[in-house]
Each structure stands twice: as structure tokens, then as C-alpha cells.
């Protein structure tokens, strides 16, 4: 990996753009690789790169002008941190933008299983890693899961399987794809960054756009290459895949598998190319149809690594679900509490309501990014949840839209509007009936209210249980 970095930066003026966790790891490896002409860091915040620089001279640019085109174009190579929004398209700059993700995939693409999707990518990545590890495969997990790839790059061994979770921001500008790619789903998301659904979809499609013959794409039938994606226009159907496509489908509830995909998930039954598996409904930490779909995809991938059904099921039973992903927290005052703080779109809130039994209260709302909630609002009119507790900016918007479009639901007494999460929890406790469930599934981002969805979920748990909830949440 150091050789690859050195080839990229040899004799060049190099800038690390963004100095969070990934930016710091980029600086460490760039300094270790050596060979640059000049080296600098640029960030909106005041930062100190001295620790990562290891005694090397590093210029520092901070403040509101850290993204100025004149500054960026004074460098040859810019390591851009995912999520930083450039004022203009990359092609108009003189400098060349590179990323950890692109250089890492270029170096190790034949060893990588790259996983993306609007939702489910962290669960799928961690489950695949766990099962491969438990069944004897040399495996490492990295990427958007919270482990910058440069942190592991020097330790990768030949033949080791790299399970790589990839966000849309990591995929946005790359021109290389992993040998095995996984695209789970595509929903409206991150439009504050991309502006249009078409641009968001195109970023995600880089997971397979640069694959070669002999590569493999595991893909949800709803977002297959060549298919027009809802809301993204005809251009979303124009990105071909050169690899083998293995389709995956979730069979509608109550129906049987009918050959609509290479991987079919019907209830808790999975079928893949002549193999079949019954997912245990008890004794595993994952539950709900959306999680069964992720298990089905992982089952298909594991078959490519010759994992037997017996070993797969044994490993599945020891897997622990990730925090804040429809995580059962425990019982308090007769109510069961679930933390689904990672939910930032309406579709995932619908999945939560369909997965948890006897939902007494659903807590919805957060930062308003202009996401369309019409599907969620329609679903709520026919749902059996007794109390729909809305909060923050999106909660207020959903409250208004339901008042306008669904007057019967609005007048039913099931709807309540609160300011913040604390008031929503207090109301759920006051209205709750013993044996029911209170589910935090916000269908909205946490930014501006909490640092991230993890902090929101932890605050929810702490507010209800205090220190006593730590053990139950593990």
C-alpha cells in the first residue's frame, strides 16, 4: 500500500482535505510513504496535525476559506475526505482528487467484498465478516463501519478477505470497483448533499460500474443494472455491469418463492441456486423481514466461499446486532423499548413497525432535509400502532401533512406532537399499556440536535434506563 501511495504523490504538492479520523490516517500513511514536494492539511476547524506528521513539515489552512478553489488548485494531489462537498464539480479543478477508498480498492480489489445500500449495509457487512471469521476464513472488516482503510492497509495479507462497507460519499468519485460487489437497496437519502436522486444513485452505482468480466454483483432486483430507479430518471438505467449479476428478491409477505431472483427470501426461508436455508426465528439477534433479506444476501455470498449450511447457522446464532439498529433495550414500567436511531428515512420506520410486535408508540422526527414522507404517512393511516408521537422539524411537517391529507387519522387521537425526544419519551410512558413496545425510529437525520445517530440512540437509552440499561443493550 505504501508503494501505491508513493507512486501517487511522488514529487507532488499534496493536500489532506478534511482532518477527521480518515484525514488523520491519510496524513500518517502519506508521511510514511514519503516522496512529496510539499504537504498540507486544510480543514474548517482549528486542527493540529503535528502528531500524525511525525516531525515532517506540514502547512495548515483552516477557517471558512479552506475549500477555496484557488487554494485547492495550488496543489497537485488532494486527498478528499468523504462527505466534504466541493463547491464545484471535481473536473473543473486543476488538482487531482484522490481518496483512501479509491487507492485501497485499486491495490486490493481482488480480495474485497464491497457492500453498499441506503440501509442495511452495516448489518450486512458485520454479519458477513462474523460468519466468514467464525467459519475459518482470514477476514478483516473496514470502511464506513468506522475503520478507515488506511488504518488496516499495511496489515493485509495475500488471500485475506476484506469486507468493506462503502457509503455513497466514499463511492462518489471513484473509478474502480471491488471484485465482489453488493448493492442492497436505494431509497431517497442525502439529497442535501447531492441535490437530486439521480446524482445519489449514480454515486452508489460506482460499486459495480467499474467491475470487470469475471467479477460478481449481488444486487436487489429493484435496483438491478439497466433498471430505471424510482425518482432518478432514465439515466439511472444507463450504468452497465460487466460482471456476473446475482439478483436477490424479498418475496411479498404470505407468498412463496417463485423464481424471481437467484436469491429469494420468503418469510424466514432462503433459497439460493439449489441450496435452501430456514432462518431460526428464535435464538438469533436479527429479526424482521429486512434483516432476513440481509441474511439471505450474506448466505449467497458465503456460498461463494463454500460455507456449509451447518456452519452458517452456527455462526448466525452467535452474531450480535449492532447498536441503534432496531436494538432491543429492555423493559421499563411494563413497556418494551427499541432503539432504531439509525432510521433516517420513512422506509426504515415502516420496516421497524412491521418487525416489532405490539407497538404501542412510535417516535418519529428529527432534522428536516426535505425527504418525501408520503409513503410513511399513508402507511401510518392503516397501521395498528396506538400512538404516533412526532417531534422536531420533520415531526411538525409530518403532523401538518397528515392534517391536510389524512383528516381521519388526524382526528383519531393517535397523533401527538412534542418538541424534543425527552417529551416524546415521557408521553410514550404516560400513554403506554403494559406489554406494548415503544420504538424510536425517527425517519430523519439527527444533525443539529445530536452529533450523530449513535449519540441520539445512546441518549434515548440513557434517558429511559440510566446506567442500568447498559447491560440490557449489549
Annotated binding site for ATP: 117-123
CB atoms within 10 A of CB 382: 7
- Cα gap 242→7, rounded to integer Å: 28
Annotated binding residues, written as ranges, equal 117-123
- The answer for residues whose C-beta is within 8 angstroms of residue 31's C-beta and 6 or more apart is 39, 52, 53, 54, 56
Amino acid at each position: 500500500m505504501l508503494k501505491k501511495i508513493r507512486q501517487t504523490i511522488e514529487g507532488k504538492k499534496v493536500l489532506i482535505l478534511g482532518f477527521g479520523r480518515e484525514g488523520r490516517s491519510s496524513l500518517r500513511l502519506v508521511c510514511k510513504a514519503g516522496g512529496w514536494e510539499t504537504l498540507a492539511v486544510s480543514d474548517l476547524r482549528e486542527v493540529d496535525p503535528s502528531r500524525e506528521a511525525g516531525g515532517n513539515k506540514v502547512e495548515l489552512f483552516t477557517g471558512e476559506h479552506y475549500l477555496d478553489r484557488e487554494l485547492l488548485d495550488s496543489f497537485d494531489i488532494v486527498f478528499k475526505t468523504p462527505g466534504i462537498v466541493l463547491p464545484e464539480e471535481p473536473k473543473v479543478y486543476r488538482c487531482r482528487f484522490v481518496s483512501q477508498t479509491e487507492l485501497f480498492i485499486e491495490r486490493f480489489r481482488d480480495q474485497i467484498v464491497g457492500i453498499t445500500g441506503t440501509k442495511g449495509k452495516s448489518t450486512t457487512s458485520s454479519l458477513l465478516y462474523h460468519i466468514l471469521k467464525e467459519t475459518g476464513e482470514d477476514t478483516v472488516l473496514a470502511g464506513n463501519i468506522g475503520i478507515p482503510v488506511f488504518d488496516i492497509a499495511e496489515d493485509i495479507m495475500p488471500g485475506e478477505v476484506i469486507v468493506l462497507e462503502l457509503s455513497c460519499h466514499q463511492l462518489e468519485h471513484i473509478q474502480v470497483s471491488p471484485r465482489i460487489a453488493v448493492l442492497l437497496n436505494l431509497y431517497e437519502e442525502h439529497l442535501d448533499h447531492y441535490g437530486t436522486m439521480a446524482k445519489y444513485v449514480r454515486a452508489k452505482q460506482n460499486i459495480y460500474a467499474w467491475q470487470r468480466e469475471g467479477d460478481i454483483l449481488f444486487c436487489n432486483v429493484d435496483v438491478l443494472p439497466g433498471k430505471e430507479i424510482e425518482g432518478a430518471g432514465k439515466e439511472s438505467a444507463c450504468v452497465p455491469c460487466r460482471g456476473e449479476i446475482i439478483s436477490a428478491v424479498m418475496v411479498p409477505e404470505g407468498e412463496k418463492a417463485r423464481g424471481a431472483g437467484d436469491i429469494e427470501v420468503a418469510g424466514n426461508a432462503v433459497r439460493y441456486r439449489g441450496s435452501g436455508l430456514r432462518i431460526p426465528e428464535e435464538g438469533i439477534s436479527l429479526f424482521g423481514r429486512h434483516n432476513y433479506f440481509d441474511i439471505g444476501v450474506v448466505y449467497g455470498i458465503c456460498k461463494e466461499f463454500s460455507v456449509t449450511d451447518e456452519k452458517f447457522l452456527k455462526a448466525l446464532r452467535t452474531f450480535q446486532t449492532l447498536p441503534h439498529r432496531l436494538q432491543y433495550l429492555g423493559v421499563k414500567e411494563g413497556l418494551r423499548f427499541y432503539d432504531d436511531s439509525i432510521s433516517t428515512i420513512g422506509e426504515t420506520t415502516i420496516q421497524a413497525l412491521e418487525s416489532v410486535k405490539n407497538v404501542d408508540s412510535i417516535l418519529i422526527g428529527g432534522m428536516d432535509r426535505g425527504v418525501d414522507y408520503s409513503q410513511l404517512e399513508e402507511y401510518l393511516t392503516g397501521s395498528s400502532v396506538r400512538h404516533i408521537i412526532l417531534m422536531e422539524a420533520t415531526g411538525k411537517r409530518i403532523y401538518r401533512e397528515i392534517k391536510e391529507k389524512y383528516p381521519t387519522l388526524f382526528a383519531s387521537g393517535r397523533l401527538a406532537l412534542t418538541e424534543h425526544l425527552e417529551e416524546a419519551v415521557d408521553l410514550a410512558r404516560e400513554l403506554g399499556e403494559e406489554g406494548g413496545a415503544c420504538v424510536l425510529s425517527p425517519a430523519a437525520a439527527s444533525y443539529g440536535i445530536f452529533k450523530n445517530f449513535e449519540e441520539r440512540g445512546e441518549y434515548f437509552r440513557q434517558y429511559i434506563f440510566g446506567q442500568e440499561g447498559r447491560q440490557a443493550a449489549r
